[in-house]
Amino acid sequence: MATVEVRDLRKRYHDFLALDGVSLKAESGQLVTLLGPSGCGKSTTLRCLAGFLEPNGGEIMVEGESILGVPANRRGFGVVFQNYALFPHMSVAENIGYGLKLQKLSKSEIATRVHDVMELVRLGGLDDRLPRQISGGQQQRVALARALVLKPKLLLLDEPLANLDARLRDEVRWLIRDLQQQSGITAFYVTHDQSEAMAMSDMVAVMKAGRVAQFATPREIYQRPVERYVADFTGEANFLTCQSVTPQAEGRYAITAAGTTLELEGVPGIGAGAPAELLLRPEALSLTTPETGTFRGRVTKSAFLGAALHCEITLPGDNILKLAAEPNTDVRTGDEVGIDIDRSHAWLMPEVAP
Ligand code: ATP
């Protein structure tokens, strides 16, 4: 299986720079997700990998060798798009076997491989149906089977779940991850859905305006984001502006925020007095009495959502913290409360232009 390295990739559409130096790497057998809002360059990166677009600069190496200039059909990659692009007049089995037919394999070998892959993606028995005679989730599995049957070196998936309803999305998501892990195939996966990215990936590249803002594991992206943009894009987040920052040992800081002084970890290299903000994920916060809390504030909203009581607490200086409390917590709008923070989930970041 393949190690893939993308180095300083640039792509211009006329005078618009869509990729402005994208670098990332997939180790053999990893699933790497490109995550980011619409227009940040995810699909352009994937299309350069697939060979549908020629970049204007940079390098793409597979197993240590450049693949730039190699036509898409010679790269040996499997590609799955959000619109499945199935041939409407061909049966499910014919759609899946089409690439093998082009490779001029024998009829019996094609039949065996198509049968095996159909079992793998749980399409057994649907061989003779036409694409319009099966559901959206099944069509997506046909597209996946059609890519997998060719035993590609690399699997490229561009928002493959975008057209499925929530329940099916969940099901096909796990199927893709299972198949990818079982087969040990290296894969790139494009999505703008953070929970999909977190659940499926070995590594996530959070993209911002044609660049990679952060490339790291889902855990690191979530717990140790390099900037607010990444923190915001990867889950619920509270931010507090710091009044003062004093670096301690490497990566540790003493800060003052909302009238409280704390020592905690953060992005290395933030200078003394530099503008910085504190990230507090909702699960880092718990309610306590006003006398004992790290912060003290007033409940300005509360809503019972079954599994949790969602509260909004306003701190001095009009800072607002959102948290999920234990559902039977007895607090009401207007109550004064204390908030404890779990410092292992608090994280200091430099303020960076959005
Ligand atoms: P989405 O989630 O909406 O698909 P994306 O992150 O995949 O977005 P890209 O499709 O890679 O984004 O597009 C990146 C930027 O390049 C966008 O601003 C887009 O408008 C622009 N772009 C893409 N294709 C072309 C093209 N053929 N000509 C001109 N501009 C393009």
Q: Considering only CA atoms, which of 4, 10, 27, 37 is closest in space to residue 191? A: 37
Sheet containing 77-80: give its strands across. 77-80, 154-158, 186-191, 31-35, 203-208, 211-216
CA of 39 to the centre of ligand 1 (A): 5
Mutate to test the pocket of ligand 1, among 22, 43, 157, 159 (most ligand atoms within 8 A of CB): 43
Task: Write down the number of H helices and E strands in the chain.
Answer: 8, 20
For residue 258, pLDDT over 90 is answered with no
Q: Could you give the C-alpha distances from 39 to 27, 46, 65, in angstroms and in order?
A: 26, 13, 29
Q: Output the residue whose Cα is nearest ligand 1's atom 25.
A: 13
pLDDT at 137: 85
Cα dihedral 327→328→333→334 (10° resolution) = -130
For residue 121, pLDDT over 90 is answered with no
Overall residue count recorded for the chain in this entry: 354
Work out the average pLDDT over 10-20.
Answer: 95
Q: Name the residue with tokens 């607090």.
A: 331
Judged by DSSP in three states, 298 sits in strand
Q: Could you give the C-alpha distances from 58 to 6, 13, 118, 277, in angstroms and in order?
A: 8, 15, 38, 34
pLDDT at 6: 98
CATH number of 4-228: 3.40.50.300
CA of 228 to the centre of ligand 1 (A): 23
CA of 43 to the centre of ligand 1 (A): 7
pLDDT at 344: 80
With cut-offs at 50, 70 and 90, classify the pLDDT of residue 140: confident
* Domain boundaries 236-350, CATH class: mainly beta
With cut-offs at 50, 70 and 90, classify the pLDDT of residue 172: confident
Q: What angle do CA 193, 198, 200 make, to 5 degrees?
A: 95
pLDDT at 69: 92
Domain ranges (residues) in the chain:
4-228, 236-350
pLDDT at 25: 97
Which of 157-166, 219-228, 281-290, 306-315 shows the lowest per-residue confidence on average (mean pLDDT)? 157-166
Work out the average pLDDT over 244-270.
Answer: 92
pLDDT at 118: 92
Which of 70-74, 201-205, 223-227 shows the lowest per-residue confidence on average (mean pLDDT)? 70-74
Does any ligand 1 atom lie closer than 6 A to the CB of residue 35? no
**4-228 shares its CATH topology with 236-350:** no
Contact 130, 138 (CB under 8 A): no
φ/ψ bin of 335: left (φ > 0), alpha (ψ from -120 to 50), beta (otherwise): beta
pLDDT at 48: 96
CA of 82 to the centre of ligand 1 (A): 15
Q: How far apart are the first and last CA of the chain?
A: 38
Contact 88, 42 (CB under 8 A): no
Which of 78-87, 96-105, 211-220, 310-319 shows the lowest per-residue confidence on average (mean pLDDT)? 78-87
Distance CA 2, CA 5 (A): 10
Secondary element (H or E) of residue 338: strand 336-341
For residue 157, pLDDT over 90 is answered with yes
Q: Considering only CA atoms, which of 80, 149, 84 is closest in space to residue 115? A: 149
With cut-offs at 50, 70 and 90, classify the pLDDT of residue 109: very high
Q: pLDDT tens digit string along 42-65? A: 999 999 999 999 999 999 999 999
ipTM for the complex? 0.95
CA 158 from centroid of its chain's CA atoms: 12
